[in-house]
Structure 1
């Protein structure tokens, strides 16, 4: 089984990836948070900083992700990424459920218009064929949801994907309307696995070793096809040792989690312009990390109540001193 680290905007940028890579490095690929090209000729500054080779550990197998619904914008950004050395795989985001993204018919919003998707892929893969004929070996993968409103939409969406040589179809089996609520639609994922002409990867709700085995067993029991790759996001942010545990390694300890916390705190502190920004960032991390503890609600409450870094650090000290991991 291959394991991929899902992108999470505002969290899994190069500062986070480098820390995780140094401390754990259990995943086969990291997918970067999306870049969103526009009318500008080139991506600049903050748009591209996360992907600059000098900002990422050499050992990281990083796949950039583009958010676009226009082939010319995608191609323009892809050409710049190739110049930076990303000449193996570029991912299209067709799954982001954010309201601001969807309102522009991007991310999961793109799924509403399969005719527009078809035109997009036709132009993009014609460019890719020409690019690779010039000596490149680039592939395009897609991260998708199963529809905008209803799971029934997925059959038509998959028909479009099947017309093109997508290197991997990463399926989060929820609609945009579900956001992250409810349970993944495993029937829709089974349909993808059995009917996709391209390799399929599963993404969604893998937060524990038990969840992983339950999902994998269900996929393997319900389908003649076997799954070969898994993408994990929030589960890995909360428990950075999760992939190692899935592989049969030792369980997460408080010492490991504390070292992870301290590394993130110190690294984020170096790039944050104000204490309040660091406090907000670390509180966001604890929305996931607190789930490792027996009394996760009390741990989360301690962090939420901290109004400055001094009180935050007292709360963190109390958590690691008094509370035990599950």
Structure 2
């Protein structure tokens, strides 16, 4: 066993890594030190109810969960932090990385990075008001330019942050194009906080490449790579891939548990369940049987979906 393994955190992805998925993943695959909730936000003047339900400690038994918030202003952030404290959380992640334009144009997520004074006001105020909370920050290199994160580095270094998660893309790229390792390196070299690498870690080889290049990393944060291969963290920890048979068994168990949980939870009938399960397969097993995956994507009948899933799993 490698004594120098870094902790792996599961990045939050809206619509994918909810409590149902987190519980099933932790039980069946594991290998994750920390899960993050998809960001909690205020919409139409209220904290979204589904965000509250998802972050409930009772919905995440046995998991080390850090709830994440997204807010452009102190008052909105304070309302969400108060909710987290009420639920018993003492760790909070601040999202400065979301690249979706509809949010970014309102200075949410990565859309806040070009405005360093707004970032300073937000982070300095909330960390100052809550010295008992361990705050972390997840960000991109910038919205337009990587220099935006570098301009914020002195602020991050002076704040009492538990760690920083950096995804080396620009917000305007969303998830397209290449990551920028040189941009990450510039931030890494000047950062005095525990720094986690996030972005395009799809294989154990990708993980090893990044950890070799940046030996002072405190950990790794993986999102789409774990959705594609839920065993990725486990394989990194045990030093070898799962056999095809074991992978097929575990994916089948993961699907069954997620399916049954949604079936009990959702009240919208067959179509709502079907649409939710389609998102389950959006990233999973990218090299799986193409015909089966196409059927899963296009079908409007649950019976066709179930048959396609059976064929897909049988072909593994």
TM-score (normalizing by structure 2): 0.90
Question: For 1:257 and 1:55, how far apart are their aligned partners in 2?
Answer: 22
Higher RCO structure (Cα 8 Å, ≥6 apart): 2
Alpha-carbon shift at residue 61 of structure 1 (Å) = 0.5
**Quick check: 1:104 aligned with 2:106?**
yes
TM-score (normalizing by structure 1): 0.88
Q: Secondary structure at the match of 2:103?
A: helix
Determine which of 246, 265, 268 is the counterpart of 1:271: 265
**Quick check: 1:117 aligned with 2:119?**
yes
Q: 1:186, 1:219 within 8 Å by CA — same for their partners in 2?
A: no
TM alignment of 1:84-233, pairs within 5 A:
84-87=87-90, 89-129=91-131, 132=132, 138-220=133-215, 226-233=216-223
Alpha-carbon shift at residue 44 of structure 1 (Å) = 6.5
Show the counterpart of 1:78: 81
TM alignment of 1:39-54, pairs within 5 A:
43=47, 45-54=49-58
Show the counterpart of 2:3: none
**Quick check: 1:304 aligned with 2:297?**
yes
Unaligned runs of 5+ in 2: 1-5
Show the counterpart of 1:223: none
**Quick check: 1:235 aligned with 2:225?**
yes
Residues 45-76 of structure 1 deviation map (CA, whole Å, 9 limit, x = unaligned): 3331111122221x100101110111222123
Q: Secondary structure at the match of 1:289?
A: coil
Question: For 2:155 and 2:165, how far apart are their aligned partners in 1?
Answer: 15
Residues 116-159 of structure 1 deviation map (CA, whole Å, 9 limit, x = unaligned): 11122221222123xx3xxxxx2110000010012232221323
Question: For 1:103 and 1:67, how far apart are their aligned partners in 2?
Answer: 13
Alpha-carbon shift at residue 196 of structure 1 (Å) = 1.0
Q: Secondary structure at the match of 2:94?
A: strand
How many equivalent residue pairs? 306
From the superposition, tell whether residues 38 and 260 of structure 1 become closer, same or farther in structure 2 (CA, over 3 Å). Answer: closer
Show the counterpart of 2:306: 313
RMSD (CA atoms): 1.9
Residues 156-194 of structure 1 deviation map (CA, whole Å, 9 limit, x = unaligned): 132332231211110011001111111211111112221
Unaligned runs of 5+ in 1: 133-137, 221-225
Q: 2:198, 2:221 within 8 Å by CA — same for their partners in 1?
A: yes
Decide which moves more: 267-276 or 245-254.
245-254
